[in-house]
Structure 1
Amino acid sequence: MKRSHDRTEWIASRGEFLIERHIADAMAAAHWHDHVELNLLMDGRMTYLFNGRQEQVAAGRLVLFWAAIPHQTIAVTENAPLVCVYLPLVDFLALPIDRRARQSIMQGRFLTQGDQETSDPSMFPRWESEWQSGGNARRKLIVEEVRLRIRRLILDNGEPENAATQSAPAPLAGQAVGHVESLSDLINIHYANPISVPELARLANMHPSTANSAFRKVLGISVNEYLIRYRVARAMQLLTDTDDPILQIGFECGFGSSSRFYEIFKERTGTTPRHFRESVSGSNAEAG
């Protein structure tokens, strides 16, 4: 059974907070969106292919990951209900959490709740139901409850105890987060152009060293690394959702030459753009 890309496309285009519940299924191809995703499988088991690794997910064990890293459900038991929470990246960055924990998530950590929380199986369906039917006041309350749950999840999985006593999100509430937000917005707009980090920094009215310093402080990666990840993710999406020529997709995603496109794509995905498209087409045909 093929999972529709419409939902993810809607999430990615809106860039908003969302909670949904659906029956988990195997995905024909990896997808991505620029949120931090919080998932709770209500029953059964599932396996994610995430950041080049297979991650096993058991019912009742909360998982969290940065969804801008392409991810794919490759195996799931039948009729397994899944509640998904999509938190915009800028909201995640504003949380008062340990810097090392935040950076590890931005660098590809798949965070799993160590011990099952007995409240999660009742709380997550309630959030989803109230999000669909509640008013603005109740929705705002749900967002706050989700933020607190994420903070507890991170605290339970290695955040130093004294982090809770530090002054709210002081380092991240100021210029660093603002710089990252401005630069990521510019990358979203200009990724198709042969733009450099100095040019991005100039458009954001900051020095290139300031730009990279902010990215490394907040995300743990350079501006250029984020730009490459964004371009590869967009290329994967176009290879999956369109019949555009492969070389055209490479140029549309900001790769200056066909050799550069093939080199980077294979380095990041383990396969060539052509083989990636063929594997997706084969999966789609079987699903249909």
Structure 2
Amino acid sequence: MTKSLRFRGEKAFSVPGEEFLIERHIADTMAIAHWHNHVEINLLMKGRMNYLFNGRQEEVEAGKLVLFWAAIPHRTIDVSKNAPLICIYLPLVDFLGLSIDRRIRQDIMQGRFLTDPRPAWADTAQMSRWAQEWEEGKPTRRRLAADEVRLRVKRLVLDTLETPHIEHRPTVAPINSAAVQRAEALTELIGARHAGSLSLTKLAKLSGIHPSTANRTFREVLGVSVNEYLIRYRLAQAIQRLADTNDPVLQIAYDCGFGSSSRFYDLFKHRTGMTPKVFRARVGRAGAPDVDHD
């Protein structure tokens, strides 16, 4: 069995370009939120499971593919017993290289939790085969599985585009509902105001929550402080801009709320292991008008 990404140490932000991986295991609740720099595809074979994703609760139904950018903190908070789960980890660079609708790609990178609007009965058999072939370790079969996964993602995006979007409000998870509501309020504020000057005190005032309560809520629900979540959210937005636009790095740094190019450069390199310019080159935007510290 391949070692699961779910139970790695709490690394701040994984390096883009991590390996493609398929695994299967019995789903379980997670003590705290975690994150890694893949686009994650899940298929719950049976049972039920709820994620807390980006401060909101999202239900995973058996037999329905879900897809999300795992760099956004997420945590399983409600799982039925003996719920087999297949997880596919698609490197961010591979996802960005797919010829899919730009709007959907941006939505995913900005926190959309994509659920298959047209579940296919063949997914269970197909994903089981991919997992089996991955575990067997034959390079040719692994490459074929990876190619087929990319095609399945393209179909999922196309089906999503052709199906009217219905707002999904998942059921309440069995954790402190007041804490979840506070976390949702804070994450919505961060999403709306991350480009400006923000602090724990300002966020708490805007949401009508005491600063210590706000931080305690975030740690209880997401496993990180408000400030750490804000940094990661800004980095997520910056990565999307670097990958999807030709905007100068300096403009991206300010637009995403970093205040200066040097702070953005330092944080980006510390969290990803590479500079913004190197990252952009790896995802095919090497000709963009960048200013970097190399």
TM-score (norm 1): 0.55
2:80 equivalent to 1:77? yes
Equivalent in the alignment of 1:127? 130
2:131 equivalent to 1:103? no
2:145 equivalent to 1:142? yes
- Deviating runs (4+, > 6 A) in structure 1? 225-228
Q: In the aligned structure 1, how far is the partner of 2:257 from the partner of 2:93?
A: 17
Equivalent in the alignment of 1:21? 24
Q: In the aligned structure 1, how far is the partner of 2:88 from the partner of 2:44?
A: 12
Q: In the aligned structure 2, how far is the partner of 1:120 from the partner of 1:65?
A: 17
**1:29–1:72 Cα contact (<8 Å) kept:** yes
**2:67–2:113 Cα contact (<8 Å) kept:** yes
Q: Secondary structure at the match of 1:146?
A: helix
Please point out which of 111, 115, 120 is paired with 2:118.
115
2:245 equivalent to 1:217? yes
**2:40–2:69 Cα contact (<8 Å) kept:** yes
Once the 2 structures are TM-superposed, how far is the Cα of residue 114 of structure 1 from its aligned partner?
1.3
Q: In the aligned structure 1, how far is the partner of 2:33 from the partner of 2:241?
A: 30
Consecutive unaligned residues of structure 1, counting only runs of 5 or more, are: 161-210, 229-251, 254-288
Identify if the C-alpha distance between structure 1 residues 212 and 155 changes in structure 2 by more than 3 Å, giving closer, same or farther.
Answer: closer
Q: In the aligned structure 2, how far is the partner of 1:53 from the partner of 1:86?
A: 21
**1:215–1:222 Cα contact (<8 Å) kept:** no
Deviations 1:22-66 (A, max 9, x none): 100110000000000000000001100011110011100000000
Deviations 1:220-275 (A, max 9, x none): x94567797xxxxxxxxxxxxxxxxxxxxxxx98xxxxxxxxxxxxxxxxxxxxxx
Consecutive unaligned residues of structure 2, counting only runs of 5 or more, are: 164-238, 259-269, 272-294
Identify if the C-alpha distance between structure 1 residues 122 and 8 changes in structure 2 by more than 3 Å, giving closer, same or farther.
Answer: farther
Amino acid at match of 1:147: R
Q: Secondary structure at the match of 2:57?
A: strand
- Aligned alpha-carbon RMSD (Å): 3.3
Amino acid at match of 2:79: V
Once the 2 structures are TM-superposed, how far is the Cα of residue 129 of structure 1 from its aligned partner?
0.8
Once the 2 structures are TM-superposed, how far is the Cα of residue 12 of structure 1 from its aligned partner?
4.1
Equivalent in the alignment of 2:169? none
**2:38–2:90 Cα contact (<8 Å) kept:** yes
Q: In the aligned structure 1, how far is the partner of 2:150 from the partner of 2:79?
A: 28
Equivalent in the alignment of 2:41? 38
Q: In the aligned structure 2, how far is the partner of 1:226 from the partner of 1:63?
A: 27
Equivalent in the alignment of 1:91? 94
Q: Secondary structure at the match of 1:157?
A: helix
**2:96–2:243 Cα contact (<8 Å) kept:** no
Deviations 1:111-152 (A, max 9, x none): 001132111011111101101104111111111000000000
Amino acid at match of 1:5: F
Once the 2 structures are TM-superposed, how far is the Cα of residue 6 of structure 1 from its aligned partner?
2.4
**1:212–1:222 Cα contact (<8 Å) kept:** no
Once the 2 structures are TM-superposed, how far is the Cα of residue 105 of structure 1 from its aligned partner?
0.4
Question: Greater helix share, 1 or 2?
Answer: 1
Amino acid at match of 1:16: E
Q: Secondary structure at the match of 1:144?
A: helix
Q: In the aligned structure 2, how far is the partner of 1:146 from the partner of 1:35?
A: 14
Amino acid at match of 2:245: K
**2:51–2:76 Cα contact (<8 Å) kept:** yes
Equivalent in the alignment of 2:8? 6
Please point out which of 155, 160, 165 is paired with 1:157.
160
TM-score (norm 2): 0.54
Deviations 1:9-32 (A, max 9, x none): 6x9468110000010011000000
Once the 2 structures are TM-superposed, how far is the Cα of residue 217 of structure 1 from its aligned partner?
2.8
Q: In the aligned structure 2, how far is the partner of 1:223 from the partner of 1:159?
A: 35
Q: In the aligned structure 1, how far is the partner of 2:142 from the partner of 2:246?
A: 27
Q: In the aligned structure 2, how far is the partner of 1:87 from the partner of 1:148?
A: 12
Identify if the C-alpha distance between structure 1 residues 60 and 5 changes in structure 2 by more than 3 Å, giving closer, same or farther.
Answer: same
Alignment length, in residue pairs?
177
Identify if the C-alpha distance between structure 1 residues 96 and 71 changes in structure 2 by more than 3 Å, giving closer, same or farther.
Answer: same
Q: Secondary structure at the match of 2:133?
A: helix
Identity value in percent: 55
